[in-house]
Structure 1
């Protein structure tokens, strides 16, 4: 009976269940720099929602956000990077845990999140490095599907990246954010996110804008057009006023498609521009999601 129940659950997931409580995401990126075009990342993230998420209310990619679904998650990401000409060889592992909650009130729903990330980096001929980061964020859903939030990030040990940032926005974005914090251990963050229908069509529009203020300031904008509830195309831009980093700005795009309400795939591209050095970087990413 247990085997039959498991098989039934998997069949429902593959053929289009309209509610889910677990999500597993896998992601990998190919990294092409001026120095070497054979670098890559890989990662996995698992999320448990405290209540079933109804995926019939809007774009499948934003079902959890639209449902204001409280959750806990864990993620792992691996990076291999080397530069043959300079004998640079880096291996980095990132671990993260995170909790997000939406609390109904008589005024507006209140949002809060907390996360911890650890980065272990092994550099050839330069030893090992361990870095931690802690982040808190609070905000509110000020109007339906518009979240505004502010936060605080503490990075007592350099170098440390946001594992969830890697999984959702790519390795280059997470690296730029860490570079912006630089040697300053404390960083303030602000962001706004919105998803809503386009009147008179079966399409929706979404955007997210964010900034991290550390030793330098990093700011970004991502917009998505949901052609229907399954298919979306997006664009992103990341800028910085960096004086301590050779990275200048980055831009790119992505396409995501849900084969069924439970299975989604996507591809992304990002170009990061540098100044003063020849380290322009291009990344191409693939991801897959499975919900049950």
Structure 2
């Protein structure tokens, strides 16, 4: 009976369950830059929602946001970078993160809050001292209009080599690295972001917009838009630029995501971060991702 119940649950998840409470997602990226074409990164994230998430309305990819679904999650990212022929610059980064998000209804508007902690271990392949970095972040906001979130936050970075595992899992390593370089030695940063998802009248399509600002040692902003051609299929573009004194300092990205069933999704991404002034870090990344809900 236990085996039958497990098989039934798996079948429902694979063929069309319209509600879920767990989500597991993973991604992997190949990183090609002028210095080395053997860099890579991978990330996995698991999320538990306190209540069932109804995915029967709107884009499947945004079901949790549209449901104002409070949750807790954990993430891990692993990546290698540096010149292959020079062991002194070859490093491996392990980043662990935990995060909580809450949507609280009020008499005025729904209120949003999040808190996260990330820890990065930089393993030097040449046997030099490993580096450790901690990152704490808090965010407060409100849905000022239906499906329109405005939030501001504070991030404290105890070490400049400290990444956000959730940012890597969602947006890729190139953008996460630019964000880390923007905060840099300042150790404290103010953040702000907006997000909107809404239907296009007379169609089964939807449109999404996101924007963000990071003010640390330098300043970075990002813009993104996603067109949901139907609840299953979406295409998106994004742009990130930072004022930090280095190159590359901007990244242009594109992605496509498709839900094979309401519980299983696959996707691909591409990011181009062109370097200037003869830098060896002219970078392109190609990524694959997948999600499973149950």
- The Cα of 1:156 is off from its aligned counterpart by 1.3
Matches within 5 A, 1:122-201: 122-125=123-126, 126-201=128-203
Contact 1:35 1:85 in 2 (8 A): no
Q: Indicate the residue corresponding to 2:79 in structure 1.
A: 79
| Bigger mean CA offset, 73-82 vs 99-108 | 73-82
Partner of 1:93: 94
Deviations 1:261-281 (A, max 9, x none): 000000000011222213110
Number of aligned residue pairs: give it: 291
Quote the Cα distance in structure 1 between the aligned partners of 2:37 and 2:101.
37
CA distance in 1 between counterparts of 2:155 and 2:94 reads 20
C-alpha distance in 2 between matches for 1:263 and 1:180? 35
Give the Cα–Cα distance (whole angstroms) in 2 for the partners of residues 36 and 282 of structure 1.
11
* Pairing 1:108–2:109 present: yes
Q: Counterparts of 2:253 and 2:175 in 1: how far apart (Å)?
A: 11
TM-aligned CA distance change 1:272 to 1:43, over 3 Å: same
Look up the match of 1:37. Answer: 37
Segments of structure 1 that go 5 or more residues without pairing to the other structure are none
Q: Deviations over 1:228-258 (max 9, x none)?
A: 0000000010011122x32221102000000
Quote how far apart the aligned CAs of 1:222 are.
1.1
Distance in 1 between the 2:16 and 2:163 partners? 35
Aligned-residue offset at 1:84:
3.0
SS of equivalent residue, structure 1 residue 62: helix
> In 2, distance between residues paired with 1:173 and 1:117?
16
Counterpart in the other structure of 1:62: 62
Q: Distance in 2 between matches of 1:76 and 1:154?
A: 19
CA-based RMSD:
0.9
TM-score, structure 2 as length reference: 0.97
DSSP 3-state at the match of 1:84 = coil
Q: Secondary structure of the residue that 1:172 maps to in structure 2?
A: helix
How far is 1:85 from its partner? Answer: 4.8
Paired residues of 2:160 and 2:183 also in contact (CA < 8 A): no
Deviation track 1:2-26 (CA, whole Å, cap 9, x = no partner) reads: 2211111100000010000000001
CA distance in structure 2 between the aligned counterparts of 1:24 and 1:124, rounded to whole angstroms: 31
Report the alpha carbon displacement of residue 60 of structure 1 after superposing the two structures with TM: 0.3
Contact 2:95–2:121 (CA under 8 A) maintained in structure 1: yes
1:124 Cα deviation after fit: 3.0
- Alpha-carbon separation, structure 1, partners of 2:54 and 2:29: 30
Moved more, 163-172 or 268-277: 268-277
Could you tell me how far 1:201 is from its partner in structure 2?
Answer: 1.2
